[in-house]
Amino acid sequence: EAIRLAKISIEKELRATKIELDSLVRNFEDLQLEYDTLARSTSENKEAEIMLERLTTEHIATSAQLNAVSADLAVTKARAEAEMKARKEQHKTEVGNLQFEISVLKTRVANGPEERDERDEENDVAVLKARVEDRDRRILELEQALAKGEEQRRQMHNRIQELR
């Protein structure tokens, strides 16, 4: 009877151990699954960090290129504006000279076909009239520029008063 009791006791312990072993196997499988998930997540995080680093480097390089292109564009624009201003000034001078020549020729035609070879170029009436017309035109331009400057001064004065 003692052997039978011992056998039953050992069988109970064996069942308890088997249940505990099954529980440990399930826990191990759960832990293995969590570990695999964590390893996958860690791998994905490392890949994301590598991609972020690469994209950051590309962004910095692209920003540097953009800044260089912007600076180059600004220089090109300034150069083009300066060239355009110089050409406009040259054009304006040429137009003024041509208007002067037209005025001289108109005055000479109006005075008739006198002997032009004998005329003193410095005291030629046509040249003198053309110079007067040229100066009158220049005075008119300066008066317009002065009026424009005065209007700007008034606008700025009014803005300053508004800001106070």
Cα torsion angle, 75, 80, 83, 88, sign: negative
What is the secondary structure of 95-115 as a DSSP string?
HHHHHHHHHHHHHHHHH-S--
CA atoms within 13 A on the CB side of 147: 6
* Residue 72 CA, distance from chain mean position: 11
The reported pTM is: 0.43
Query: Is the Cβ–Cβ distance between 126 and 111 less than 8 Å?
Result: yes
Q: Angle formed by the axes of helices 125-163 and 2-111, to 10°? A: 150
The pLDDT value given to residue 116: 53
164 residues of the chain, pLDDT tens digit each: 888 899 999 999 999 999 999 999 999 999 999 999 999 999 999 999 999 999 999 999 999 999 999 999 999 999 999 999 999 999 988 888 888 888 778 877 777 666 455 555 656 777 777 788 888 888 999 999 999 999 999 999 898 888 87
The pLDDT value given to residue 109: 79
Query: Is the Cβ–Cβ distance between 103 and 130 less than 8 Å?
Result: yes
